[in-house]
């Protein structure tokens, strides 16, 4: 009875079922690998976006200093504009300008600039 036709048929059916199960397992594993690759691509994209956001956040801290510098420049510009207006008003009414300003009170930048060798440069 060990070599009967029924034994061969049962073995054949068992092998066919094993091949079918193996095919289903291979199919499921391929689906899992494809899904894992999609998840990996998504994680890489999230990493890049998060890195860019973190980089932008670092630069936000510098904006406070930039805003302070801009405010200082605005204040200095306002003072320059105010003083320029005063100078223009004075120049319109003064007959002796610029000789009316004594040399000792003239600002240091009214003197020619000295180059490295001591000569006046422009």
Write the pLDDT tens digit of every residue in 9-58: 999 999 999 999 999 999 999 999 999 999 999 999 999 999 988 888 87
Alpha-helical segments (H) within the chain: 5-93
Please report, to the nearest 10 degrees, the dihedral formed by the alpha carbons of residues 27, 32, 35, 37 taken in order.
-100
**Is 18 within the bounds of a domain?**
yes
33 located within any domain: yes
Domain count, the chain: 1
The average pLDDT across 94-113 equals: 61
Q: Does 51 fall in a domain? A: yes
Domain-located, residue 70: no
Position 21 in a domain: yes
What pLDDT is attached to residue 122?
A: 39
Asked if residue 19 belongs to a domain, the reply is yes
Q: What is the pLDDT of residues 82-103, one digit of tens each?
A: 999 888 888 788 877 766 766 5
Strand partners, 44: none
pTM: 0.44
- 92/110 Cα distance (integer angstroms): 20
DSSP per-residue letters across 99-112 = TTS-GGGS-GGGSP
Which domain does 48 fall in, by range? 8-57
* Residue 17 or 115, more confident: 17
Q: Please tell me the predicted confidence (pLDDT) of residue 113.
A: 46
| Greatest pairwise CA separation for the chain in angstroms | 138
- 29 found inside a domain: yes
């Amino acid at each position: 009875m060990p070599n009967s036709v029924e034994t061969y048929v049962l073995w054949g059916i068992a092998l066919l079922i094993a091949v079918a199960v193996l095919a289903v397992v291979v199919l499921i594993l391929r689906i899992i690998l494809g899904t894992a690759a999609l998840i990996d691509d998504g994680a890489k994209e999230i990493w890049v976006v998060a890195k860019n956001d973190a980089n932008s956040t670092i630069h936000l801290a510098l904006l406070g200093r930039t805003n302070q510098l801009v405010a200082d420049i605005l204040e200095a510009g306002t003072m320059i504009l105010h003083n320029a207006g005063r100078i223009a008003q004075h120049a319109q009414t003064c007959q002796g300008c610029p000789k009316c300003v004594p040399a000792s009170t003239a600002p240091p930048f009214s003197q020619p600039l000295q180059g490295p060798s001591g000569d006046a440069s422009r």
